[in-house]
Structure 1
């Protein structure tokens, strides 16, 4: 009984282990390739989002610069104009 169990274990180790390692390597390689492609796609998407945010931030900065220029150049006249607009009836 113990000898049969030892023979079965030996056969399993001699045949099963190499077969498992050979097929396992292929699966691990495919898994790693898939993961690498996924990370490349995520990196590309992140870069695109960063570019969009940068462009949006640049547009907002330009608008703030214009508003700052308007306020500093016209000063009190802007305040008066806003007050006039508040009291103007809307048609």
Structure 2
């Protein structure tokens, strides 16, 4: 195996590693985005539901874990 083959093999491995890291990061962003969307839906419901006591709803949300 020549130097060129070694360099290409190394670059391919680096690209594969980078692709895996990028995929993991994308999955993390997707999960975070889902959590934020859920929180926005709850906040929209609080704002639009006039029968709910806003302070109590906010306090109950603070007690829930973010994950």
TM-score where L is the length of structure 1: 0.54
For structure 2, the 5+ residue unaligned runs are 56-67
Deviations 1:5-40 (A, max 9, x none): xxxxxxxxxxxxxxxxxxxx6100000000000000
Q: Distance in 2 between matches of 1:67 and 1:31?
A: 53
**Residue 53 of structure 1 pairs with residue 29 of structure 2:** yes
Count of residues in correspondence between the two structures: 54
Q: Distance in 1 between matches of 2:10 and 2:50?
A: 60
Greater helix proportion = 1
More RCO (CA 8 Å, sep 6+):
2
Of the two, which has the highest radius of gyration? 1
Query: Which 4+ runs in 1 deviate beyond 3 A?
Result: none
